[in-house]
């Protein structure tokens, strides 16, 4: 599948000249349009970055970008659904969505996305689809050109080195630590994506053959495969923060608990998040990060355009700008968001490559080789089942 | 102009004339349209929205493949994880919060009515009421969290804690935090509604009489005034009950999380990418309404039961003591409620200017305007939207309410109990039970995410409050002022504008300020109708509340609290300035 897509991309790259004209037409059509960018708004670094993008596309392309801040990406999916429900097949209110994983799978499956469009974007040629295969396969679901890669995520654990001198080396050690120190560990309540990803790590650690996670859950015996996961969660539950009777709402809420000293660990999907939070005074200086020696999950986050988006041309121009070396460089700067690039640095001009390489690494950020190995995301159908089962067990 | 005196004779002075033969036919016809227009404007969306929720609850939503009626959504609903616990939590927090708020209100009046301190306390209630629920909730969270300000103030010197305690009122499994938040917000509302109700029943006279018969302060109030005033505040109490059972924004900040109360749980289903959950959510929204009806019915039953059981006590002739204990208890409880509300706002303000402020420091290491400087542009759009929608909805509602009240004057037919109940409908039907259906309709009309749609949605909630606040002063204004003016030869509209409205300037502005405050505080209507395109301070604050930097949250929530307070200040200052040369108007109409 992957190779197939690559071949397709190459083929499309070969047809350059007419596509360049098409792109000029798209850029021309985009001028003066609004773009309602529906993106999770729970992190001020991300919000600041999107505000910067808004200014940049206004200056360059005459596009007025509005950040519609979501508490959960599902809200935007719901909005598109409500519009389809009401028969609004064009002129929809969502132009661009920050998306990946189960939300993408759901929208793609129900035909709620515009595309394929990604191969039309000039900057897509710079994306490292070989070294970063998750830019083409999102949670085991092929993107098929329906979403444009935006950034690379990598799950890390945060810990307060003042209270935990040597971090655990595995999930099992982390849980054992929690049992020895009651009340000092918790995770965001699924379906928050940080909480769900924590469960995925636990599942990968407790499962005999992780390969089955790459296929739809229907092909496996869910109850049997996940029994060890629930056993482990139930066992550690009384030793969790608030005896496992309540859970924080999100990753940032967990960071706040770490900052307040209510817990000793947190989690993030961005290896640089801890460093930028320390720089902003939002976490103690003593916070560091680790990944289990068996590795942690890495994925890509994307932007997609709903099938009924009112301003598709401008949405494409913004999606392309997000992949531009300039925007990617700004995004990776640890003084701001610090989100890793999707680009292949060797395809960039020497000067830009040097700028990427010159970016400082934050005090709590692991080096790229310390983050390995990268574990693949399970098929999204697993997460749907796991979140439902978690709610059944922990929420009544 | 010469015709005017004739009109006066006909309309104003001719009290013996049969009602309905209005002053000027043209004006009467035009005015007569306003009450039905008002009812249509605000009942239409609610009924349509309810229908749009009930049909999917029984499986009918063609766009999602629901073509025929079935009970499947209900089966799905009752199998949903956490449903039972969430419903129980909603019932428990809602009933408990209403009961406590009512008990505090009764205690306050029984112990304080007629005292000067109590009259002064009344003035504090309006601003407390004006602060949006969400701002109060976030302020309380800043105060009461395990690492919150209250714990910091006594740590470590008193508690010996090095880290925050692993327990909390907030977001705990029993919903204590939510109950407390609701009590803090709803007690001022009930107190103000009771003040309004007392005016209707001449409570002061009854109270004096009972005192003259030797009844103690508290017993006199409970035995004589309460039975008279309770029917006056019954609907407000039911409104509090309905609100507390179905609140979303406060529940997200203060309520339990696993599971949450019912309304946030339903909202979660409505916004789930798995579309089949919509049917379940619609059934849940119906269940939410059933719960409210059930709670109101149970409350009514309890009313009857208490009235029956209390009869021997009422007529026993027991005079009671001086009520000193009740007195102190009342002031203590009210003091705690007020301090929590104000302390929360103070916490918001301090966090918004805090530099580093780590547990267990009781005060920030430094105060800085950095947060404000850095994020001020972030506030611009939400503030503009909040102001525009709030002002537009308030002005519209004010026009409609004044029209209705004037028509009432012209036709001499005060609306009956039924009309009052209709007015309370938006306050008694849980928002989530009709907003989903309304959203689908607005999308179909192309009105979602538009100013018109949002202003209309806010109007549904602004209008009842405005009417309830303004009706009493409007009706009780002495008509002879106008009669004199008409006799002096001024046309109707001038008399209305220069005499009635001028005399009522103060209550009109206060009602408008309350309407504006109601609009500012709307979360769910803004979220569902604004479609994320129109964001107000409330939606912005809630998006940030669970996780963003406390400094930023403090800044947004403080702005949210300040906006309605400014409106109140204007409402108080404007008449004072306008009438600065007229001593007779100083205390207001």
Please check whether residues A263 and A345 belong to one and the same domain: no
Structural domain boundaries, residue A81: 2-152+299-366
Contacts of B533 (CB under 8 A, 6+ apart): A36, A66, A68, A93, B449
Instruction: Decide if A94 contacts A79 (C-beta within 8 A).
Output: yes
What are A34's strand-pairing partners? A64
- Residue A51: closest CA among B432, B362, B378, B180: B378
| Cross-chain Cβ contact B166/A246 below 8 Å | no
Whole-angstrom Cα distance, residue B334 to residue B101? 10
Residues A1 and A136: their CA atoms lie apart, in Å, by: 10
Residues A239 and A120 in one domain: no
Say whether A82 and B439 touch across the interface (CB within 8 A): yes
CA distance B247 to A370: 47
Q: What is the pTM of this model?
A: 0.88
- Give the residue among A241, A259, A226, A232 at the shortest CA–CA distance from A187: A241
Q: Which two tokens stand for residue B250?
A: 């406060």
Which residues on chain A are in Cβ contact (under 8 Å) with B89? none
> Do residues A313 and A261 both lie within one domain?
no
A104 vs B: CB within 8 A = no
Distances from the Cα of A244 to the Cα of A256, B214, B251, B403, B412, angstroms: 18, 57, 19, 56, 63
Q: Assess whether A139 and A26 both reside in one domain.
A: yes
Task: Give the C-alpha distances (Å, rounded to integers) separating A263 from A185, A190, A231, B323.
Answer: 6, 18, 23, 48
User: Could you list the mean pLDDT of each consecutive 10-residue stretch along chain B, which spans 589 residues?
Assistant: 33 37 54 87 91 93 82 94 93 97 94 83 86 96 91 86 81 88 95 87 86 87 92 94 96 90 92 82 96 97 95 83 81 92 96 89 91 88 96 97 90 78 90 89 84 95 92 87 86 86 91 96 93 89 84 95 95 87 64
Number of other residues whose CB lies within 10 A of the CB of residue B151: 22
Residues of chain A contacting residue B356, judged by C-beta atoms under 8 Å apart: 281
Q: Which two tokens stand for residue A261?
A: 């000293």
Residue A261 to residue B61, Cβ atoms within 8 A = no
- Which of B532, B533, B543, B551 to probe the A interface (max A CBs under 10 A)? B532
Report pLDDT for B14: 35
The two tokens of residue B394 are 């308030």
Chain B residue with minimum CA distance to A107: B273
**CB–CB contact A242 B355 (8 Å):** no
Alpha carbon of B151: minimum distance to chain A alpha carbons (Å): 12
**CA gap A126, A346 in Å, rounded:** 9
A256: chain B residues, CB-CB within 8 Å: 547, 550
Report the C-alpha gap between A277 and B547 in whole angstroms: 13
- Asked whether B77 and B466 are in contact (CB, 8 A), the reply is no
Interface of A with B in 137-156 (CB under 8 A): none
Block residue for tokens 């009669």 = B483
Q: What is the pLDDT of residue A208?
A: 85
By the CB < 8 Å criterion, does A111 face chain B? Answer: no
Q: How far is A369 from chain B (nearest CA, A)?
A: 30
Q: Do B164 and A81 touch (CB under 8 A)?
A: no
Other beta carbons within 10 Å of A22:
11
The chain B residue lying nearest A105, using CA atoms, is: B273
CATH number at residue A382: 3.40.190.10
Q: Write out the two tokens for B548.
A: 């963003």
Interface confidence: ipTM more than 0.85: no
The domains located in chain B, with CATH, are: 23-55+372-589 (1.10.3720.10), 84-365 (1.10.3720.10)
CB A262 within 8 A of CB A137: no
Q: Is B374 left (phi over 0), alpha (psi -120 to 50) or beta?
A: alpha
- Contact partners, residue A355, CB within 8 Å, separation at least 6: A329
Q: Which helix (H) or strand (E) segment is A290 a member of?
A: strand A287-290
Do A290 and A187 lie in a common domain?
Answer: yes
- Number of residue pairs across A and B with CB atoms under 8 Å? 160
Q: Six-digit token pair at B71?
A: 């009970």
Q: How many residues does chain B have?
A: 589
Asked if B486 and B4 touch (Cβ cutoff 8 Å), the reply is: yes
Burial, B232: exposed, middle or buried (Cβ in 10 Å; 0-12, 13-18, 19+)?
middle
How is the beta sheet containing A265-268 ordered, strand by strand? A265-268, A156-160, A287-290
Q: Which residue on chain B is closest to A67 by alpha carbon?
A: B533
Q: Mapping DSSP to helix (H, G, I), strand (E, B) and coil, where does residue A76 land?
A: helix
List alpha helices for chain A, DSSP H. Answer: 2-14, 16-30, 44-61, 73-85, 101-109, 171-180, 193-206, 222-236, 251-260, 273-279, 312-322, 325-332, 350-358, 380-394
Please judge whether A69 and B167 are an interchain contact, meaning their C-beta atoms are less than 8 angstroms apart.
no
Helix (H) or strand (E) segment spanning residue A96: strand A96-99
CB contact under 8 A, A262 and B163: yes
Q: Do B535 and A82 touch (CB under 8 A)?
A: no
Instruction: Read off the pLDDT of residues A341-355 as tens digits, 9 standing for 90 and up.
Output: 999 999 999 999 999
The answer to whether residues A276 and A346 belong to one domain is no
Q: Is A250 on the interface with B (CB under 8 A)?
A: yes
- Are both A80 and A94 inside the same structural domain? yes
Distance CA B261, CA B439 (A): 22
CB contact under 8 A, A71 and B61: no
Question: Which of B172, B377, B543 is the closest to A41 by Cβ?
Answer: B543
What gap in Å lies between CA A185 and CA A375, rounded to an integer?
23
Residue ranges, chain A, pLDDT below 50: none
Cβ atoms within 10 A of the Cβ of B445, count? 12
| B257/A253 CB distance under 8 A | no
Alpha-carbon distance B568 to B517, whole Å?
9
| CA gap A329, A358 in Å, rounded | 10
- Who contacts B17 (Cβ-Cβ below 8 Å, separation ≥6)? B10
- Do residues A306 and A170 both lie within one domain? no
Contacts of A255 in chain B (CB under 8 A): 547
* Tally of domains within chain A: 2
| A88 reaches B (C-beta below 8 A) | yes
Whether A355 and A247 map to the same domain: the answer is no
| A190 and A144 assigned to the same domain | no
Q: Domain check: are A246 and A351 in the same one? A: no
Q: Does one domain contain both A107 and A201?
A: no
| Chain B residues whose beta carbon lies within 8 Å of the beta carbon of residue A66 | 533
């Amino acid at each position: 599948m992957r190779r197939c897509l690559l071949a397709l991309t190459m083929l499309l790259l070969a047809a350059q000249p007419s596509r360049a004209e098409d792109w000029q037409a798209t850029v021309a059509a985009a001028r003066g349009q609004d773009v309602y960018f529906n993106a999770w708004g729970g992190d001020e670094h991300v919000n600041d970055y999107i505000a910067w993008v808004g200014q940049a596309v206004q200056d360059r392309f005459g596009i007025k970008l509005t950040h519609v801040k979501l508490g959960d990406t599902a809200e935007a999916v719901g909005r598109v659904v409500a519009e389809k429900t009401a028969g609004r097949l064009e002129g929809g209110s969502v132009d661009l969505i920050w998306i990946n994983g189960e939300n993408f799978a759901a929208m793609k499956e129900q035909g709620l996305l515009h595309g394929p469009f990604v191969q039309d974007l000039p900057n897509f040629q710079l994306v490292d689809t070989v070294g970063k295969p998750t830019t083409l396969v999102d949670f085991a679901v092929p993107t098929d050109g329906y979403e444009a890669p935006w950034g690379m995520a990598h799950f890390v654990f945060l810990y307060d080195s003042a209270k935990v001198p040597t971090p655990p080396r595995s999930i099992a050690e982390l849980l054992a630590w929690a049992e020895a120190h009651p009340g000092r560990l918790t995770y965001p309540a699924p379906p928050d994506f940080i909480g769900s990803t924590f469960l995925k790590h636990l599942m990968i650690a407790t499962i005999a053959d992780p390969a089955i996670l790459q296929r739809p859950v229907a092909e496996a015996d869910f109850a049997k495969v996940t029994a060890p996961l629930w056993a482990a969660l139930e066992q550690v539950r009384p030793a969790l923060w608030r005896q496992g009777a309540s859970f924080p709402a999100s990753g940032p809420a967990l960071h706040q608990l770490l900052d307040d000293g209510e817990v000793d660990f947190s989690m993030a999907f961005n290896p640089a998040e801890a460093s930028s939070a320390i720089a902003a005074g939002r976490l103690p200086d003593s916070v560091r990060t680790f990944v289990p020696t068996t590795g942690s999950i890495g994925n890509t986050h994307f932007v997609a355009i709903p099938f009924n988006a009112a301003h598709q041309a401008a949405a494409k121009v913004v999606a392309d700008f997000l992949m531009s070396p300039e925007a990617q460089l700004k995004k990776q700067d640890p003084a701001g968001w610090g989100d890793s690039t999707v680009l292949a640095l060797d395809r960039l001009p020497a000067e830009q490559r040097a700028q990427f390489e010159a970016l400082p690494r934050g005090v709590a950020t692991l080096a790229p080789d310390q983050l390995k190995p990268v574990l693949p995301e399970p098929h999204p159908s697993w997460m749907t089942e796991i979140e439902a089962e978690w709610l059944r067990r922990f929420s009544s | 102009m010469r015709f005017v005196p004739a009109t006066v004779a006909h309309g104003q002075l001719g009290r013996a004339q049969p009602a309905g033969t209005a002053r000027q036919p043209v004006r009467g016809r035009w005015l007569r349209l306003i009450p039905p227009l008002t009812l249509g404007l605000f009942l239409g969306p609610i009924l349509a929205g309810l229908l749009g929720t009930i049909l999917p609850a029984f499986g009918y939503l063609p766009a999602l493949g629901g073509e025929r009626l079935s009970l499947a959504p209900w089966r799905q609903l009752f199998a949903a994880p956490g449903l039972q616990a969430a419903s129980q939590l909603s019932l428990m927090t809602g009933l408990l919060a209403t009961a406590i708020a009512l008990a505090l209100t009764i205690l306050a009046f029984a112990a304080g009515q007629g005292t000067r301190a109590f009259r002064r306390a009344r003035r504090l209630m309006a601003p407390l009421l004006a602060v949006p629920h969400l701002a109060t909730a976030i302020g309380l969270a800043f105060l009461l969290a395990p690492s919150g300000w209250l714990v910091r103030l006594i740590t470590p010197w008193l508690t010996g804690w090095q880290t925050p305690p692993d327990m909390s009122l907030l977001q705990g499994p029993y919903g204590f935090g939510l109950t407390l938040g609701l009590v803090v917000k709803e007690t001022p509302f009930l107190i103000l509604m009771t003040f309004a109700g007392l005016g209707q029943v001449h409570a002061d006279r009854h109270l004096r009489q009972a005192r003259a018969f030797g009844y103690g302060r508290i017993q006199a109030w409970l035995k004589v005034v309460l039975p008279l005033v309770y029917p006056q505040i019954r609907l407000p109490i039911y409104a509090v009950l309905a609100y507390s059972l179905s609140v979303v924004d406060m529940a997200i900040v203060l309520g339990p999380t696993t599971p949450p109360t019912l309304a946030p749980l339903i909202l979660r289903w409505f916004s789930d990418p798995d579309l089949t959950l919509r049917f379940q959510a619609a059934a849940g929204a119906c269940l939410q309404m059933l719960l409210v009806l059930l709670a109101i019915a149970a409350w009514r039953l309890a009313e009857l039961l208490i009235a029956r059981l209390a009869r021997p006590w009422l007529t026993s002739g027991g005079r009671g003591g001086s009520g000193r204990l009740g007195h102190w208890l009342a002031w203590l409880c009210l003091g705690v409620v007020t301090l929590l509300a104000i302390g929360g706002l103070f916490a918001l303000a301090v966090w918004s200017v805090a530099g580093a402020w780590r547990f267990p420091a009781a005060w920030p290491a430094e105060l800085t305007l950095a947060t404000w400087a850095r994020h001020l542009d972030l506030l611009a759009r939400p503030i503009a939207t909040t102001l525009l929608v709030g002002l537009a909805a308030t002005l519209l509602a004010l026009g409609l309410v004044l029209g209705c009240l004037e028509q009432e004057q012209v036709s001499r037919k005060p609306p009956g109990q039924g009309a009052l109940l209709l007015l309370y409908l938006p306050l008694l039907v849980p928002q989530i039970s009709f907003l989903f259906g309304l959203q689908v309709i607005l999308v179909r009309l192309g009105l979602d995410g538009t100013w018109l749609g949002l202003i209309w949605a806010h109007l549904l909630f602004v209008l009842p409050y405005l009417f309830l606040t303004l009706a009493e002063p409007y009706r009780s204004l002495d008509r002879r002022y106008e009669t004199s003016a008409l006799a002096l030869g001024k046309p109707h509209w001038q008399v209305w504008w220069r005499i009635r409205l001028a005399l009522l300037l103060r209550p009109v502005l206060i009602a408008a300020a309350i309407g504006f405050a109601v609009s500012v505080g709307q979360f769910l209507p803004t979220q569902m109708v604004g479609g994320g395109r129109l964001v107000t301070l409330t939606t912005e604050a809630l998006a940030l509340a669970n996780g963003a930097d406390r400094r930023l949250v403090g800044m947004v929530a403080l702005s949210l609290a300040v906006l309605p307070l400014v409106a109140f200040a204007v409402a108080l200052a404007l008449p004072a300035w306008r009438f600065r040369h007229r001593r007779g108007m100083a205390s207001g109409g």
